[in-house]
Amino acid sequence: MARRRYQKPTPKRRGKVWSILVREDVVEDGQRTRPVRRVPLGPAALTRAEAERLRDDYLATTNQASVGIGGAILFRDFARIYERDVLSTWASTTQDRSESVLKVHLNPEFGDLMLREMTLEVLQHYFARLQATKMSVEGVDKVKDVLSAVLGTAVTYGRLSTNPAEKIRLRKRKLTKPKPFIRVDLFYSLLALIMEPYATMVYVAAFTGLRISELAGLLWRNVHVDSITIEQRYCRGDWDEPKSDASRATIAVDDHVIERIQKLKSIEVVIRAGRALQRYKAVKSDGPDDLVFQSVKTGAPIRDNIVLCRHIKPAARKLGVGWVNWQVLRRSYATWMSQAQVNVKDAQGLMRHSRASTTQDVYQQVVPESQRKAVQKLSAFVRQSAKGAVAVQ
């Protein structure tokens, strides 16, 4: 097996350029070779001393002892290793988007480069060009995140000594408008346009701040007399742990939310099938391990994007608030608490943003009294706002 050696070839004039012969380690399909390649340094008008300085600059990375021979693998070959070992452990939605970024952007640009050739200068130049296109800021960020993840894995595997993608500088984001939230009066108008059980999903999302993946993974044993426990999440076919330790928690919930959830057990959903009407139970089974929110026809887990596109978005567009989505509902919950003057620490606990949050037992729940008062305060504010809206109409 070839071993990397220190190189210092003599520059020679060939025609109109100075050039050197360099052996470069290449790994393809697990086989390592060291073919000789002629590398142009600069125009023949340069002096020999200038050509030698260019040679030393070019070979600096190759001759560094800290650069392992494993860095000779092509980027596209290591990307396949990354997809096999690391990306396969992530959620399917993350896998799909990352694979798309690799296929459309990174492999065409860097596929034929060896990992050790992917210097900060090379990467920075690429992202400068990328930002000059019409790609969105979020799109450029995603490309950078995927590249950093691949090269970070190369560092972990000993292929590289450092991750050059961590030092890439991107153009600063333009100032953005405040992110929207839905007003209380519009929220109730929105609910009236959404059929069950999706209306209840929206209701619970707005009054608990639960993420949609946590709502979709909610079990009946997680619903208590005055609280809800988050122990898992579901997103488009993937079951997973909560987002963080703080997310795995029990939060206080007011009576009206629990009552609305329990009411699902007695609801029948009517769906038109051609000229006929079919009736389905909103809850097919309500055992401790059954889902609270179930597919109307089959009882299977609900896909958040289908509910959003078929039920929430059409209703929101009728009210002129087509920007409403699951994230807006969670943001509205936080904003309503601020408007109701709920203590910031209690709001953090209910939103599960605090690292001090602790996971509590599924069956014997202890909710801080201050959180219970907080949700009661919020409910009182919402009821008062709703009455005010009706009086105006």
Return the closest-CA partner of residue 226 out of 184, 177, 191, 261.
261
Please check whether residue 57 is in contact with residue 112, taking contact to mean a CB–CB distance below 8 angstroms.
no
Please check whether residue 229 is in contact with residue 242, taking contact to mean a CB–CB distance below 8 angstroms.
no
Q: Which domains does the chain have, with CATH numbers?
A: 12-65 (no CATH), 75-167 (1.10.150.130), 184-392 (1.10.443.10)
**Omega of the bond leading into 197 within 30 degrees of 0 (cis):** yes
- Torsion-angle region of residue 8: left (phi > 0), alpha (psi -120 to 50) or beta? beta
- The DSSP letter of residue 348 is H
Beta carbons within 8 Å of 109's beta carbon, 6+ residues apart: 126
Q: Enter the tokens of residue 162.
A: 């450092």
* pTM of the predicted structure, to 2 decimals: 0.65
* pLDDT tens, the chain, 393 aa long: 344 567 888 999 988 899 999 887 666 665 667 788 888 988 998 999 988 888 888 887 666 654 555 677 889 999 999 999 999 888 788 888 999 999 999 999 999 888 888 889 899 999 999 998 888 888 999 999 999 999 999 999 988 888 999 999 988 766 556 778 888 889 999 999 999 999 999 999 999 989 999 999 999 999 999 999 999 999 888 888 888 788 888 989 999 999 999 999 999 888 877 778 888 888 899 899 999 999 888 888 998 999 999 999 999 999 999 999 998 898 888 888 878 887 777 878 888 775 433 222 222 234 556 677 787 888 888 888 887 665 555
Beta carbons within 8 Å of 21's beta carbon, 6+ residues apart: 9, 36, 37, 38, 39
